Every structure is written in C-alpha cells, then in structure tokens.
C-alpha cells in the first residue's frame, strides 16, 4: 500500500519535472530579447513549453536558431517585433555563408509552434512593407537583395497553428521533415492590387517538402505561391484554404512528388488559382496530383500547368514558347482538376510581379480569357483529366478559352475531359 503510493508519487513528480514551462523574460527598451531565448535553450530544448508572454512585444533583433528540439511547444502569445532597419538586416544576411538566413530555425522531433488564438495578439512583425516599397527603386526589379527567410522548420511530427505573420519581408514557412499538421494560420502580405510598383515579391506562404502533411483552415494573402509543394513531397492533403493575391495553390517541382490533393480552395485576385509549374529541361516524375472544389474569384490563369517555365529574370531576351527540339520536361501522370468554378481576370490581367517584357508569366498565343492553360511539352503527360470546369470572364464579355496541345499527352486526349485545342472551352 505504502510503497504503491510512494511509486505513484515518484511517477507524478517525474512527469511534472519532465515537462517544464520556460517563460522568455522581457528585457525592456533597447534590449534584444533573442539573447534571453538563446539562454533558455540549454534547459528548455526537450519536454518543455517555451512561452513568449501575452501582453508583451518582444524585440527579436537577431535571428533565433532553436536548435534540435524534442517534445517542445513554442507558444507565441505576445508579439515578436523584428528590426526595422533594412541595411542592418541585409548585413546579417550578407554575413551568412550562402547569403541565406532564416529568422527562426527549428529542427528536431515533436514540436508544436503556436500563436495566440486571441485575434488581437500573437503577431510577428517583420516590417516587410518598407522592403516592398524600397524595391521599386532598386534594379534589377523583383525585390531587394539580401532578404531573410521567415521560418525554416525541419521536424518530424510538427503542429503549426494559430500563427499570424503580418507583412513578411519575403518567404514565410519552409517546411521539411515529416508528419505535419498545419492549421488556422494567417499570413498577411496583403498589398494594394492596383499599385503596381509596390509588390511583395517572393512572399511564399508555405514551401513543403517531405512525407505526410495535412493543412486546413489556413489563409494567405501574398505575392507568390500560397502553398508550393516541392520535390520530395508525398501524401500531402491541403483543404479549406483561402489564397489571395499571389500565385496560387501550386505544385512547384520537377521530380519525386506524389499523392497531393488540394481541396476546397478559395482563390481571390490571384495570378494563378491552381498551378503546376516545372522548369524547361527538367527531368523527373510527378504523379497523383488533384485539385478539387476550387472557387475562383478573378484569377488571370485559373487552371494552369506548365512544364516549360523558365525564369524571365535570368533568361532575358529568350522568347517564351519557343523550345529547342532537344528540350526535356518533367513527366506528369494522373493529374486532375475537378469542380473548378468562378471568374477569369480579363480586365486587369497579370499582377505586380511583371518586371520584364514579355512578362515571366506570358504564354505565347494564350488569350486573356484562358480559363484552362495546359502548357506541356510533347509527350510529357499521361492520365490528365478535367471535369466540371465552369469559368467565365469577370466582365461577362467573351468566353473562357482553352490552351492545349494534343502532342503533350502520350495516351491521347480521349479521357482528358475537355477538347484539347486553342479556342473556346468545351467539355468532352
Ligand atoms: C512530451 O512530454 C509530455 C510531458 O512530459 C509527455 O506526457 C509526452 O509523452 C511527451 N511526448 C513525447 C512524444 O515524448
Ligand atoms: C532591440 O534591440 C536592439 C539591439 O539591442 C536595440 O538596438 C533596439 O533599440 C531594440 N529595440 C527596441 C524597440 O527596444
Ligand atoms: C537551467 O537549469 C539549472 C538547474 O535547474 C539552473 O540552475 C539554471 O539557472 C537554468 N538556466 C536557465 C538559463 O534557466
Ligand atoms: C556584403 O559583404 C561584402 C563582403 O563580404 C561587402 O563587400 C558588401 O558590401 C556587402 N554588401 C552589403 C549590401 O552589405
Ligand atoms: C525523420 O523522419 C525521416 C523519414 O521520415 C527519417 O529518415 C529521419 O531519421 C527522422 N528524423 C528524426 C530526427 O527522427
Ligand atoms: C501523419 O502525420 C500525422 C500528424 O503528425 C500523424 O498523426 C499520422 O500518424 C501520420 N501518418 C502516417 C501514415 O505516418
Ligand atoms: C495519399 O495521402 C493521403 C493523405 O493525404 C493518405 O491518407 C493516403 O493513404 C495516401 N495514399 C497512398 C496511396 O499512399
Ligand atoms: C471550405 O473551406 C472554407 C474555409 O476556407 C470553410 O469555411 C467551408 O466550410 C469549407 N467547405 C466545406 C464544404 O467544407
Ligand atoms: C482583379 O484582380 C486584378 C489584379 O489583381 C485587380 O487589379 C482588379 O482590381 C481585380 N478586380 C476585381 C473586380 O476585384
Ligand atoms: C503561335 O501561333 C502562331 C500562329 O498560329 C504559330 O506560328 C506559333 O508557332 C505559335 N506559337 C506557339 C508558342 O504556340
Ligand atoms: C512537338 O510535336 C510536333 C508535332 O509532332 C512537332 O512539330 C514539334 O516539333 C514537336 N516539338 C518539340 C519541342 O519536340
Ligand atoms: C540541347 O542542345 C543544345 C545545343 O546543342 C545544348 O546547348 C543544350 O544543352 C541541349 N539541351 C538538352 C536538354 O539536352
């Protein structure tokens, strides 16, 4: 009896001691609170909760590498304020080996990164808007040099929830590792759609690489991919997401990608609503990619696939659409778009990311009401299917057009679900 009570007590105290709360102290005016975080890490990198207190705006003046965490929750209940000086941040990025710096770096296993469910606090403030405004005066256009990334996370078994990023400088979450649940996060790189000179270049919402990711109830307003699923991604399910501005819900890779589903996506004022993007002269395989239940409001390219993308910034002068006979491209199989409806932006097509002539997103011979664009190199696709596509120009004038080349498909176009030709959209 006594010994049972004693051992129960020992178990209890062990459990309590094992999971500790580490509150990040607030240093006050002029103090870089990142130092206090680093000091905590020697004690708090396993079985701990690291708490940025509510009602506090921390000064995160230097990047934080949380190192290898094990069973740790990071709770951002207060706000994190990043530096306002552009030259200072650039000098930090410049000082890194490959000029690549993430402001927050997290590795390990079993990590929860969470914000505050109270909509009024738990914000991260990188002050990106001043970077976007300054970029219009610096050539080459396309964003200032030496920009930091936001979060770089390489963890097995991760939850990211309730995070709120307000005005990121550029890229937001680079996710690798495995077994992710990402939900109820808000990335706000919102910008004035009709001020073309101020554009949040490269503000990717999420870059995804690895097996087993589930995303739900996330919201992104930005100027690049809402979500980019990259090489090495498998078994990814992204549902109930809102993407505004930006370049859509995107499969952006060349090889080693399979079993990806995008479901119930609302796309508002985006250049692309759904996109497959692989590069000219790539080699590899991408299979089982499905976009379903897509609600499109005012997209320039609602349903879009290219296997022949090339960066207009680094290929100035090349004519898009003209490929040497020996060109290669990623092979895609079992792709579908099912239930996509809404409006095509034919009144003000394009977005502020156009810094070249022709624009990087120009498609030779496509019309400005191209509801469906399948720009796939000869013989690089099989088992592609479209069904229940219902798109119309936002001004009600004209029809939704298709851009499609039957030579793309090694298995022919009988099961494509649409008439494959350049001209008015027709189901088949
Ligand atoms: C994390 O720590 C808590 C509290 O000690 C414990 O209950 C839980 O089992 C741990 N989880 C893992 C995956 O180690
Ligand atoms: C943040 O920390 C830096 C470095 O110590 C300091 O120069 C700056 O004044 C601090 N900012 C605030 C708002 O306290
Ligand atoms: C880490 O834990 C040790 C022992 O509990 C304690 O003495 C020390 O102050 C702690 N350090 C920090 C930074 O919390
Ligand atoms: C980057 O660092 C190099 C030296 O490594 C220096 O010459 C250059 O001026 C720096 N650029 C900026 C923008 O800080
Ligand atoms: C994470 O998972 C991958 C495969 O899913 C495995 O190769 C790797 O060893 C794991 N890392 C850790 C730290 O458990
Ligand atoms: C996928 O990840 C989730 C969340 O971490 C986990 O619960 C689930 O067991 C994983 N599935 C597989 C097949 O590993
Ligand atoms: C595809 O991924 C989903 C998770 O999104 C998973 O449930 C399913 O088992 C995977 N299918 C295959 C064939 O691996
Ligand atoms: C689709 O996602 C939205 C959030 O973007 C959600 O409000 C809605 O309930 C979802 N619809 C269905 C049918 O699940
Ligand atoms: C459609 O999107 C374009 C480009 O982002 C924007 O200029 C225009 O105002 C939008 N139209 C409507 C009706 O929202
Ligand atoms: C565009 O159309 C013209 C005229 O039909 C044709 O000569 C040219 O090859 C087409 N270009 C592309 C890239 O399809
Ligand atoms: C694609 O196929 C068409 C017709 O077979 C041919 O005229 C064209 O040269 C091919 N293009 C490439 C890049 O192989
Ligand atoms: C195609 O041929 C050109 C000229 O010979 C060469 O420069 C290029 O590397 C080749 N491309 C591929 C993908 O083989």
Q: Considering every ligand atom shown, identify the ligand nearest to the alpha carbon of residue 229 and give its number.
A: 7
Residue 79: which of 25, 125, 113, 39 has the closest Cα? 125
Q: HSE, CB side, 13 Å, CA atoms: give it for residue 62.
A: 12
Question: Which pLDDT score is estimated for 312?
Answer: 65
Number of Cβ within 10 Å of residue 355's Cβ equals 18
Closest ligand 12 atom to 281 CA = 13
Distance 365 CA to ligand 5 centre (A): 46
Q: State the 10-residue block means of pLDDT for the chain, 428 residues long.
A: 44 54 97 98 97 98 98 98 98 96 98 98 98 96 96 98 98 98 98 93 98 98 98 98 98 97 98 95 96 98 92 63 84 98 97 89 92 96 98 97 97 98 97
Judge whether 34 and 60 are in contact, CB under 8 Å: yes
Q: Considering every ligand atom shown, identify the ligand nearest to the alpha carbon of residue 48 and give its number.
A: 1
Q: Considering every ligand atom shown, identify the ligand nearest to the alpha carbon of residue 184 and give its number.
A: 8
d(Cα 387, Cα 421) in Å, to the nearest integer?
Answer: 16
Ligand 9: does its nearest atom lie under 6 Å from the Cβ of 269? yes
Domain map (residue ranges) of the chain: 21-211, 225-428
Ligand 5: does its nearest atom lie under 6 Å from the Cβ of 278? no
21-211 and 225-428 agree in CATH topology: yes
Question: Which pLDDT score is estimated for 306?
Answer: 95
Closest ligand 2 atom to 81 CA = 13
The domain made up of 225-428 is a member of CATH 2.160.20.10: yes
Write out pLDDT tens, residues 42-52: 999 999 999 99
Closest ligand 2 atom to 83 CA = 1
Structure tokens at 290: 């499905």
d(Cα 208, Cα 251) in Å, to the nearest integer?
Answer: 10
Choose which residue among 327, 358, 365 to substitute to test ligand 10 binding: the one with the highest number of ligand atoms within 8 A of its C-beta.
Answer: 365
Domain 21-211 sits in CATH at 2.160.20.10
127 is catalytic: no
**Candidate list 224, 225, 346, 351, residue with the active-site label:** 224
Pocket of ligand 4 (CB under 6 A): 90-91, 94, 146
- In this structure, the residue with its CA closest to atom 4 of ligand 11 is 407
Question: Which pLDDT score is estimated for 313?
Answer: 63
**Candidate list 183, 219, 234, 247, residue with the active-site label:** 247
224 is catalytic: yes
Judge whether 189 and 147 are in contact, CB under 8 Å: no
pTM of the model: 0.93
Judge whether 255 and 179 are in contact, CB under 8 Å: no
Residue 154: which of 200, 111, 94, 91 has the closest Cα? 111
């Amino acid at each position: 009896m006594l010994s049972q009570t004693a051992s129960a007590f020992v178990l209890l105290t062990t459990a309590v001691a094992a999971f500790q709360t580490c509150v990040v102290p607030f240093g006050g005016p002029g103090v870089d609170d990142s130092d206090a975080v680093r000091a905590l890490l020697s004690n708090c990198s396993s079985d701990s909760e690291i708490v940025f207190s509510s009602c506090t705006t921390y000064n995160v003046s230097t990047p934080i590498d949380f190192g290898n965490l094990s069973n740790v929750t990071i709770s951002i209940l207060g706000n994190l304020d990043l530096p306002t000086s552009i030259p200072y941040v650039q000098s930090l990025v410049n000082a890194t080996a490959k000029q690549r710096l993430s402001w927050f770096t997290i590795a390990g296993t079993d990590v929860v990164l969470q914000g505050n469910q109270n909509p009024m606090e738990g914000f991260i403030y990188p002050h990106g808007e001043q970077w976007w405004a300054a970029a219009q005066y610096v050539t080459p256009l396309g964003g200032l040099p030496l920009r930091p990334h936001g979060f770089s996370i390489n963890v097995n078994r991760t939850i990211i929830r309730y995070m709120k990023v307000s005005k990121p400088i550029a890229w937001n979450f680079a996710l690798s590792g495995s077994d992710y649940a990402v939900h109820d996060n808000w990335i706000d790189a919102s910008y004035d759609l009709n001020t073309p000179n101020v554009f949040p270049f490269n503000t990717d919402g999420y870059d995804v690489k690895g097996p087993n990711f589930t995303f739900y109830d996330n919201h992104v307003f930005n100027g690049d991919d809402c979500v980019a699923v990259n090489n090495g991604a498998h078994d990814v399910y992204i549902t109930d997401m809102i993407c505004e501005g930006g370049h859509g819900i995107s499969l952006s890779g060349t090889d080693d990608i399979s079993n990806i589903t995008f479901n119930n996506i609302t796309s508002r004022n985006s250049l692309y609503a759904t996109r497959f993007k692989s590069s000219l002269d790539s080699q590899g395989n991408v299979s089982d990619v499905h976009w379903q239940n897509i609600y499109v409001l005012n997209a320039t390219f609602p349903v879009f696939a290219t296997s022949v993308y090339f960066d207009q910034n680094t290929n100035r002068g090349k004519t898009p659409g003209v490929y040497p006979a020996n060109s290669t491209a990623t092979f895609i199989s079992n792709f579908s778009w099912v239930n996509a409806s809404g409006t095509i932006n034919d009144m003000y097509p394009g977005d502020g990311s156009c810094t070249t002539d022709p624009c990087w997103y120009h498609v030779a011979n496509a019309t400005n009401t191209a509801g469906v664009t399948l720009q796939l190199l000869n013989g690089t696709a099989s088992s592609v299917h479209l069904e229940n596509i219902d798109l119309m120009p936002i001004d009600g004038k004209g029809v939704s057009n298709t851009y499609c080349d039957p030579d793309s498909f090694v298995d022919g176009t009988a099961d494509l679900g649409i008439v494959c030709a350049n001209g008015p959209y027709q189901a088949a």
